[in-house]
Chains A and B, each alone.
Chain A
Amino acid sequence: MVRLGSLILLWALLVARVTAHHAFSPVYDDRRTITVAGVVTEFRFVNPHAMMSMDVTDDGGRVTKWSVEFAGRLNLSEVGWTAESIKAGERVTVTGNPTHTNSNGIFFRKLVRSDGSELLPAAAQRESAIEQERRERAKARQAK
Protein backbone atom coordinates (compact mmCIF):
# COMPACT_ATOMS: atom_id res chain seq x y z
CA MET A 1 0.00 0.00 0.00
CA VAL A 2 1.40 3.42 -0.94
CA ARG A 3 -0.31 6.61 0.23
CA LEU A 4 0.65 10.19 -0.49
CA GLY A 5 0.61 12.20 2.71
CA SER A 6 2.63 15.32 2.07
CA LEU A 7 0.18 17.70 3.74
CA ILE A 8 -0.27 15.81 6.96
CA LEU A 9 3.30 15.20 7.87
CA LEU A 10 4.02 15.84 11.51
CA TRP A 11 5.97 18.98 12.23
CA ALA A 12 8.47 16.95 14.19
CA LEU A 13 9.25 14.98 11.09
CA LEU A 14 9.77 18.13 9.06
CA VAL A 15 12.48 19.37 11.38
CA ALA A 16 14.20 16.02 11.61
CA ARG A 17 16.81 16.73 8.96
CA VAL A 18 19.42 14.10 8.44
CA THR A 19 22.78 14.34 10.13
CA ALA A 20 24.87 12.23 7.87
CA HIS A 21 27.82 12.08 5.58
CA HIS A 22 26.07 13.97 2.79
CA ALA A 23 22.93 15.90 1.98
CA PHE A 24 20.08 13.65 0.90
CA SER A 25 18.42 16.22 -1.38
CA PRO A 26 20.04 14.94 -4.61
CA VAL A 27 18.17 11.65 -4.19
CA TYR A 28 15.11 12.30 -1.99
CA ASP A 29 12.42 14.98 -2.20
CA ASP A 30 11.99 16.57 1.23
CA ARG A 31 8.89 18.49 0.07
CA ARG A 32 6.89 15.27 -0.25
CA THR A 33 6.28 12.27 1.96
CA ILE A 34 4.79 8.88 1.26
CA THR A 35 3.77 5.97 3.45
CA VAL A 36 4.60 2.41 2.53
CA ALA A 37 3.48 -0.75 4.35
CA GLY A 38 5.09 -4.13 3.95
CA VAL A 39 7.20 -6.90 5.41
CA VAL A 40 10.86 -6.38 6.31
CA THR A 41 13.21 -8.70 4.47
CA GLU A 42 16.50 -7.22 5.74
CA PHE A 43 17.79 -4.48 8.04
CA ARG A 44 21.45 -3.54 7.77
CA PHE A 45 22.66 -1.46 10.73
CA VAL A 46 25.73 0.02 9.04
CA ASN A 47 27.60 3.25 8.26
CA PRO A 48 27.31 5.69 6.68
CA HIS A 49 23.59 4.88 6.22
CA ALA A 50 21.52 2.05 7.62
CA MET A 51 19.35 0.32 5.01
CA MET A 52 16.19 -1.75 5.10
CA SER A 53 14.60 -3.87 2.39
CA MET A 54 10.92 -4.67 2.40
CA ASP A 55 8.32 -6.45 0.30
CA VAL A 56 5.25 -4.37 -0.47
CA THR A 57 2.13 -6.09 -1.73
CA ASP A 58 -0.40 -4.07 -3.71
CA ASP A 59 -4.16 -4.59 -3.84
CA GLY A 60 -3.77 -7.02 -6.73
CA GLY A 61 -1.35 -9.20 -4.78
CA ARG A 62 1.72 -8.10 -6.72
CA VAL A 63 4.87 -7.87 -4.58
CA THR A 64 7.44 -5.16 -5.17
CA LYS A 65 10.80 -4.64 -3.47
CA TRP A 66 11.37 -1.34 -1.65
CA SER A 67 14.46 0.04 0.02
CA VAL A 68 14.43 2.39 3.01
CA GLU A 69 17.46 4.53 3.80
CA PHE A 70 18.21 5.79 7.32
CA ALA A 71 20.84 7.92 8.99
CA GLY A 72 23.94 5.94 9.87
CA ARG A 73 24.66 3.58 12.72
CA LEU A 74 26.95 6.24 14.24
CA ASN A 75 23.93 8.54 14.51
CA LEU A 76 21.18 6.07 15.40
CA SER A 77 23.17 4.24 18.06
CA GLU A 78 23.40 7.55 19.93
CA VAL A 79 19.65 7.28 20.61
CA GLY A 80 19.57 3.60 21.43
CA TRP A 81 19.06 1.87 18.10
CA THR A 82 20.70 -1.52 17.59
CA ALA A 83 20.86 -4.09 14.80
CA GLU A 84 17.77 -5.64 16.44
CA SER A 85 15.66 -2.48 16.30
CA ILE A 86 14.07 -3.76 13.10
CA LYS A 87 13.73 -7.47 12.43
CA ALA A 88 13.26 -9.42 9.20
CA GLY A 89 9.71 -10.73 8.97
CA GLU A 90 8.17 -7.79 10.81
CA ARG A 91 5.20 -6.02 9.25
CA VAL A 92 5.91 -2.30 9.31
CA THR A 93 4.54 0.98 7.97
CA VAL A 94 7.20 3.48 6.94
CA THR A 95 6.69 7.19 6.31
CA GLY A 96 9.40 9.14 4.59
CA ASN A 97 10.59 11.14 1.62
CA PRO A 98 10.26 9.55 -1.82
CA THR A 99 12.97 9.72 -4.45
CA HIS A 100 12.80 12.45 -7.08
CA THR A 101 12.21 9.75 -9.71
CA ASN A 102 9.53 7.95 -7.69
CA SER A 103 11.55 4.77 -7.75
CA ASN A 104 10.94 2.24 -4.97
CA GLY A 105 13.07 4.07 -2.42
CA ILE A 106 12.24 6.14 0.62
CA PHE A 107 14.20 8.10 3.21
CA PHE A 108 13.03 7.16 6.70
CA ARG A 109 11.07 9.62 8.83
CA LYS A 110 8.90 7.28 10.88
CA LEU A 111 8.33 3.55 11.23
CA VAL A 112 5.32 1.97 12.92
CA ARG A 113 5.35 -1.71 13.85
CA SER A 114 2.23 -3.89 13.82
CA ASP A 115 1.95 -3.52 17.63
CA GLY A 116 1.77 0.27 17.23
CA SER A 117 5.24 0.99 18.57
CA GLU A 118 7.21 3.60 16.65
CA LEU A 119 10.74 4.37 15.61
CA LEU A 120 11.73 7.96 14.90
CA PRO A 121 14.95 9.57 13.68
CA ALA A 122 17.43 10.69 16.30
CA ALA A 123 16.58 14.35 15.78
CA ALA A 124 12.84 13.80 16.20
CA GLN A 125 13.44 11.91 19.44
CA ARG A 126 15.12 15.02 20.79
CA GLU A 127 12.37 17.49 19.92
CA SER A 128 10.67 17.36 23.31
CA ALA A 129 13.89 18.39 25.06
CA ILE A 130 14.33 21.31 22.64
CA GLU A 131 10.73 22.47 23.20
CA GLN A 132 11.15 22.17 26.98
CA GLU A 133 14.24 24.39 26.79
CA ARG A 134 12.27 26.95 24.79
CA ARG A 135 9.48 26.98 27.36
CA GLU A 136 11.93 27.41 30.24
CA ARG A 137 13.69 30.19 28.43
CA ALA A 138 10.42 32.03 27.75
CA LYS A 139 9.39 31.56 31.39
CA ALA A 140 12.69 33.00 32.60
CA ARG A 141 12.28 35.96 30.25
CA GLN A 142 8.75 36.64 31.55
CA ALA A 143 9.95 36.48 35.14
CA LYS A 144 12.43 39.31 34.60
Chain B
Amino acid sequence: MDDSRVFQRAALLVVLAIASTVPASAQSAARGLEGMWSDPPVTIMGRLCAFACSDAGINAMNALLDDPANDAVPFATLQRRAVERHTEYVRSTLSELTLKTFPLDPADDPSFLRCEPWGLPTQMLAPHQLEIRGVGADRLELHYGEWDARRTIFMDGRPRPPGQAPTRLGHSVGRWDGETLVIETVGIARSLMWTGGAGVTTGGFQTSDQLTVTERLVKAADGKTLTLTATLTDPVSLRAPLVLKHVWRWAPESKITPYEDCQIPTEVKRGVK
Protein backbone atom coordinates (compact mmCIF):
# COMPACT_ATOMS: atom_id res chain seq x y z
CA MET B 1 0.00 0.00 0.00
CA ASP B 2 1.50 3.33 -1.03
CA ASP B 3 1.73 6.35 1.25
CA SER B 4 -1.22 8.18 -0.35
CA ARG B 5 -3.58 5.25 0.33
CA VAL B 6 -2.39 4.95 3.90
CA PHE B 7 -3.05 8.67 4.34
CA GLN B 8 -6.56 8.39 2.80
CA ARG B 9 -7.44 5.49 5.10
CA ALA B 10 -6.13 7.31 8.14
CA ALA B 11 -8.12 10.42 7.22
CA LEU B 12 -11.28 8.35 6.75
CA LEU B 13 -10.82 6.72 10.17
CA VAL B 14 -10.36 10.12 11.79
CA VAL B 15 -13.59 11.40 10.17
CA LEU B 16 -15.52 8.30 11.29
CA ALA B 17 -14.14 8.59 14.82
CA ILE B 18 -15.23 12.23 15.08
CA ALA B 19 -18.69 11.43 13.70
CA SER B 20 -19.18 8.64 16.21
CA THR B 21 -18.56 11.00 19.14
CA VAL B 22 -21.37 13.40 18.09
CA PRO B 23 -24.53 12.67 20.13
CA ALA B 24 -27.44 11.44 18.04
CA SER B 25 -29.60 14.31 19.28
CA ALA B 26 -27.14 16.85 17.89
CA GLN B 27 -27.45 15.34 14.44
CA SER B 28 -31.12 16.36 14.24
CA ALA B 29 -32.11 19.95 13.68
CA ALA B 30 -34.34 19.51 16.77
CA ARG B 31 -31.44 18.49 19.03
CA GLY B 32 -32.65 17.55 22.52
CA LEU B 33 -36.14 18.99 22.03
CA GLU B 34 -37.18 16.28 19.60
CA GLY B 35 -40.22 14.24 20.58
CA MET B 36 -43.66 14.60 22.13
CA TRP B 37 -44.57 17.18 24.75
CA SER B 38 -48.01 17.70 26.25
CA ASP B 39 -50.02 19.29 29.04
CA PRO B 40 -47.81 20.64 31.84
CA PRO B 41 -47.13 18.72 35.06
CA VAL B 42 -49.98 18.63 37.55
CA THR B 43 -48.70 21.48 39.68
CA ILE B 44 -50.02 24.87 40.65
CA MET B 45 -47.79 26.61 38.13
CA GLY B 46 -48.51 23.95 35.54
CA ARG B 47 -52.20 24.72 35.92
CA LEU B 48 -51.55 28.44 35.63
CA CYS B 49 -49.46 27.99 32.49
CA ALA B 50 -51.65 25.43 30.72
CA PHE B 51 -52.43 28.13 28.14
CA ALA B 52 -50.86 31.58 28.38
CA CYS B 53 -49.23 32.81 31.58
CA SER B 54 -46.89 35.63 32.46
CA ASP B 55 -44.35 36.52 35.12
CA ALA B 56 -46.97 38.88 36.56
CA GLY B 57 -49.41 36.01 37.08
CA ILE B 58 -46.72 33.61 38.34
CA ASN B 59 -45.39 36.17 40.83
CA ALA B 60 -48.91 36.95 42.00
CA MET B 61 -49.63 33.27 42.59
CA ASN B 62 -46.39 32.83 44.52
CA ALA B 63 -47.22 35.84 46.71
CA LEU B 64 -50.71 34.50 47.38
CA LEU B 65 -49.37 31.08 48.35
CA ASP B 66 -46.73 32.63 50.60
CA ASP B 67 -49.38 34.47 52.61
CA PRO B 68 -50.67 32.28 55.49
CA ALA B 69 -53.94 34.20 55.38
CA ASN B 70 -54.70 32.40 52.12
CA ASP B 71 -54.17 28.84 53.37
CA ALA B 72 -57.90 28.28 53.71
CA VAL B 73 -58.89 30.19 50.60
CA PRO B 74 -60.11 27.89 47.79
CA PHE B 75 -57.53 27.37 45.08
CA ALA B 76 -60.01 28.58 42.46
CA THR B 77 -60.11 31.97 44.19
CA LEU B 78 -56.32 32.25 44.29
CA GLN B 79 -56.10 31.23 40.67
CA ARG B 80 -58.67 33.84 39.70
CA ARG B 81 -56.69 36.55 41.52
CA ALA B 82 -53.45 35.48 39.83
CA VAL B 83 -55.14 35.51 36.43
CA GLU B 84 -56.48 39.00 37.19
CA ARG B 85 -52.90 40.20 37.72
CA HIS B 86 -51.90 38.47 34.51
CA THR B 87 -54.71 40.24 32.68
CA GLU B 88 -53.67 43.59 34.18
CA TYR B 89 -50.19 42.98 32.79
CA VAL B 90 -51.56 42.12 29.34
CA ARG B 91 -53.72 45.25 29.42
CA SER B 92 -50.67 47.39 30.25
CA THR B 93 -49.02 46.37 26.97
CA LEU B 94 -51.98 47.08 24.69
CA SER B 95 -52.25 50.08 22.39
CA GLU B 96 -55.01 52.66 22.75
CA LEU B 97 -56.65 51.20 19.68
CA THR B 98 -56.71 47.68 21.14
CA LEU B 99 -57.92 48.87 24.53
CA LYS B 100 -61.10 50.15 22.91
CA THR B 101 -62.25 46.56 22.33
CA PHE B 102 -60.29 44.57 24.92
CA PRO B 103 -61.27 41.97 25.96
CA LEU B 104 -63.05 40.72 22.87
CA ASP B 105 -66.21 38.73 23.36
CA PRO B 106 -65.50 34.97 23.25
CA ALA B 107 -68.65 34.69 21.16
CA ASP B 108 -66.85 36.53 18.35
CA ASP B 109 -64.06 33.96 18.16
CA PRO B 110 -63.83 32.70 14.55
CA SER B 111 -62.58 29.33 15.81
CA PHE B 112 -65.85 28.99 17.71
CA LEU B 113 -68.20 30.59 15.21
CA ARG B 114 -66.76 29.15 12.02
CA CYS B 115 -64.28 26.46 13.10
CA GLU B 116 -61.38 28.54 11.74
CA PRO B 117 -58.00 27.36 13.05
CA TRP B 118 -56.04 29.69 15.30
CA GLY B 119 -53.36 32.05 14.05
CA LEU B 120 -49.83 31.82 15.41
CA PRO B 121 -50.32 34.10 18.45
CA THR B 122 -52.75 31.66 20.04
CA GLN B 123 -51.56 28.47 18.35
CA MET B 124 -48.06 28.72 19.81
CA LEU B 125 -49.60 28.73 23.31
CA ALA B 126 -52.08 25.95 22.58
CA PRO B 127 -52.86 23.42 25.30
CA HIS B 128 -52.13 19.71 24.88
CA GLN B 129 -49.61 18.15 22.55
CA LEU B 130 -46.62 19.68 20.79
CA GLU B 131 -44.47 17.32 18.76
CA ILE B 132 -41.08 18.63 17.65
CA ARG B 133 -39.31 16.84 14.84
CA GLY B 134 -36.21 17.52 12.79
CA VAL B 135 -36.72 17.34 9.04
CA GLY B 136 -33.30 16.96 7.52
CA ALA B 137 -30.50 19.14 8.81
CA ASP B 138 -32.11 22.51 8.21
CA ARG B 139 -35.79 22.32 9.17
CA LEU B 140 -37.96 21.62 12.16
CA GLU B 141 -41.61 20.68 12.18
CA LEU B 142 -43.77 21.75 15.11
CA HIS B 143 -46.99 19.73 15.22
CA TYR B 144 -49.70 20.85 17.67
CA GLY B 145 -52.59 18.70 18.87
CA GLU B 146 -55.02 21.63 18.83
CA TRP B 147 -56.18 22.11 15.26
CA ASP B 148 -53.67 19.49 14.11
CA ALA B 149 -51.56 22.52 13.14
CA ARG B 150 -48.09 22.13 11.63
CA ARG B 151 -45.37 24.75 11.36
CA THR B 152 -42.09 24.60 9.50
CA ILE B 153 -39.13 26.31 11.15
CA PHE B 154 -36.29 27.04 8.74
CA MET B 155 -32.94 26.62 10.50
CA ASP B 156 -30.88 27.88 7.56
CA GLY B 157 -31.81 31.53 8.06
CA ARG B 158 -33.66 31.90 4.79
CA PRO B 159 -35.59 35.18 4.59
CA ARG B 160 -39.30 35.40 3.98
CA PRO B 161 -39.87 35.25 0.20
CA PRO B 162 -40.39 38.76 -1.21
CA GLY B 163 -44.01 39.60 -1.84
CA GLN B 164 -45.32 36.61 0.11
CA ALA B 165 -48.72 37.43 1.58
CA PRO B 166 -49.13 37.06 5.36
CA THR B 167 -50.23 33.60 6.43
CA ARG B 168 -51.97 32.19 9.48
CA LEU B 169 -48.77 30.84 11.04
CA GLY B 170 -46.28 33.18 9.35
CA HIS B 171 -42.71 32.59 8.18
CA SER B 172 -40.47 31.18 10.92
CA VAL B 173 -36.69 31.09 11.08
CA GLY B 174 -34.91 29.31 13.93
CA ARG B 175 -31.46 29.25 15.48
CA TRP B 176 -29.81 27.83 18.56
CA ASP B 177 -28.67 30.08 21.38
CA GLY B 178 -26.79 27.51 23.43
CA GLU B 179 -29.44 24.94 24.30
CA THR B 180 -32.31 27.36 23.67
CA LEU B 181 -34.22 27.20 20.39
CA VAL B 182 -35.00 30.73 19.24
CA ILE B 183 -37.69 31.16 16.57
CA GLU B 184 -38.38 34.48 14.86
CA THR B 185 -41.67 34.72 12.99
CA VAL B 186 -42.95 37.45 10.66
CA GLY B 187 -45.60 37.59 7.96
CA ILE B 188 -48.44 36.59 10.29
CA ALA B 189 -51.93 37.41 9.06
CA ARG B 190 -54.26 39.39 11.35
CA SER B 191 -55.18 37.06 14.18
CA LEU B 192 -57.29 36.86 17.26
CA MET B 193 -54.96 36.46 20.24
CA TRP B 194 -56.25 34.79 23.40
CA THR B 195 -54.22 35.64 26.48
CA GLY B 196 -56.42 34.12 29.18
CA GLY B 197 -54.72 32.24 31.98
CA ALA B 198 -55.37 28.82 33.52
CA GLY B 199 -56.46 27.15 30.33
CA VAL B 200 -59.33 29.41 29.35
CA THR B 201 -59.66 31.28 26.06
CA THR B 202 -60.39 34.76 27.38
CA GLY B 203 -58.66 38.13 27.18
CA GLY B 204 -58.76 38.34 23.42
CA PHE B 205 -57.50 41.07 21.11
CA GLN B 206 -56.73 41.45 17.43
CA THR B 207 -53.13 41.46 16.26
CA SER B 208 -52.09 43.14 12.99
CA ASP B 209 -50.04 41.81 10.09
CA GLN B 210 -47.10 43.80 11.47
CA LEU B 211 -46.83 41.45 14.42
CA THR B 212 -43.45 39.81 15.04
CA VAL B 213 -42.98 36.96 17.48
CA THR B 214 -39.80 35.71 19.09
CA GLU B 215 -40.18 32.33 20.77
CA ARG B 216 -37.52 30.93 23.09
CA LEU B 217 -37.96 27.22 23.86
CA VAL B 218 -35.80 25.69 26.55
CA LYS B 219 -35.86 22.29 28.18
CA ALA B 220 -35.45 22.02 31.96
CA ALA B 221 -32.20 20.52 33.23
CA ASP B 222 -34.05 17.35 34.25
CA GLY B 223 -35.58 17.06 30.78
CA LYS B 224 -39.12 16.83 32.14
CA THR B 225 -40.52 20.17 31.02
CA LEU B 226 -40.26 22.53 28.08
CA THR B 227 -40.87 26.24 28.62
CA LEU B 228 -41.82 28.73 25.94
CA THR B 229 -41.19 32.43 26.46
CA ALA B 230 -42.79 34.35 23.60
CA THR B 231 -42.22 38.04 23.01
CA LEU B 232 -44.75 39.76 20.76
CA THR B 233 -44.24 43.18 19.23
CA ASP B 234 -46.82 44.91 17.09
CA PRO B 235 -46.89 48.67 16.41
CA VAL B 236 -50.64 48.51 15.84
CA SER B 237 -52.05 46.37 18.64
CA LEU B 238 -49.36 46.79 21.30
CA ARG B 239 -47.70 49.76 22.98
CA ALA B 240 -45.00 47.59 24.59
CA PRO B 241 -43.69 44.07 23.98
CA LEU B 242 -46.00 41.43 25.40
CA VAL B 243 -44.16 38.50 27.00
CA LEU B 244 -46.14 35.30 27.56
CA LYS B 245 -45.18 31.84 28.70
CA HIS B 246 -46.37 28.28 28.31
CA VAL B 247 -45.16 25.01 29.80
CA TRP B 248 -45.32 21.46 28.43
CA ARG B 249 -44.20 18.22 30.05
CA TRP B 250 -42.19 15.49 28.34
CA ALA B 251 -44.87 13.03 27.23
CA PRO B 252 -43.59 10.31 24.90
CA GLU B 253 -46.74 8.28 25.60
CA SER B 254 -49.06 11.03 24.37
CA LYS B 255 -50.62 10.94 20.92
CA ILE B 256 -52.10 13.51 18.59
CA THR B 257 -55.52 12.31 17.52
CA PRO B 258 -57.63 13.40 14.53
CA TYR B 259 -59.10 16.89 14.69
CA GLU B 260 -61.98 16.70 12.29
CA ASP B 261 -65.23 17.05 14.20
CA CYS B 262 -65.49 20.77 14.83
CA GLN B 263 -69.16 21.72 15.06
CA ILE B 264 -70.41 25.18 14.22
CA PRO B 265 -72.58 26.30 17.16
CA THR B 266 -76.32 26.47 16.74
CA GLU B 267 -76.88 28.88 19.62
CA VAL B 268 -74.63 31.74 20.74
CA LYS B 269 -75.04 34.31 23.49
CA ARG B 270 -72.90 37.43 23.30
CA GLY B 271 -71.68 39.52 26.20
CA VAL B 272 -71.10 36.67 28.65
CA LYS B 273 -67.82 36.97 30.56
Number of A-B contacts (CB under 8 A): 131
Q: In the bound complex, what is the Cα–Cα distance between A23 and B273 (angstroms)? A: 10
Q: In the bound complex, what is the Cα–Cα distance between A46 and B261 (angstroms)? A: 6
Asked if A48 contacts B51 (CB within 8 A), the reply is no
What residue in chain A is nearest B262 (Cβ atoms)?
Answer: A48
Partner-binding segment picked from B4-12, B178-186, B193-201: B193-201
Asked if A48 contacts B201 (CB within 8 A), the reply is no
Asked if A26 contacts B107 (CB within 8 A), the reply is yes
A141 interface hit (Cβ, 8 Å): yes
B39 interface hit (Cβ, 8 Å): yes
Residues of B within 8 A of A113 (CB): none
Interface residues of B in 197-227 (CB under 8 A from A): 198-202
What residue in chain B is nearest A12 (Cβ atoms)?
Answer: B76
Residues of A within 8 A of B105 (CB): 26
User: What string of 1s and 0s marks CB contacts (under 8 Å) between B66-79 and chain A?
Assistant: 10100100111001
Chain B residues touching A, majority SS: loop
Interface residues of A in 4-21 (CB under 8 A from B): 11, 14-15, 17-21
Q: In the bound complex, what is the Cα–Cα distance between A29 and B129 (angstroms)? A: 28
The 5 A-B residue pairs with the shortest CB-CB distance, nearest first, are A23-B106, A26-B107, A19-B199, A15-B76, A22-B112
Which residues of A line the B interface, CB within 8 A? 11, 14-15, 17-23, 25-27, 29, 44, 46-49, 51, 72-75, 77-78, 99-101, 103, 123, 126-127, 129-131, 133-134, 137-138, 141-142
Some 16 contacts from A to B, beta carbons below 8 A apart, are A11-B76, A19-B50, A23-B112, A26-B265, A26-B269, A26-B270, A47-B259, A48-B259, A73-B257, A74-B127, A74-B146, A78-B128, A100-B267, A100-B269, A101-B269, A142-B68
For the complex with contacts A18-B199, A19-B50, A48-B262, 6 further pairs of A-B residues with Cβ separation under 8 Å are A15-B74, A23-B196, A51-B261, A100-B267, A100-B269, A126-B42
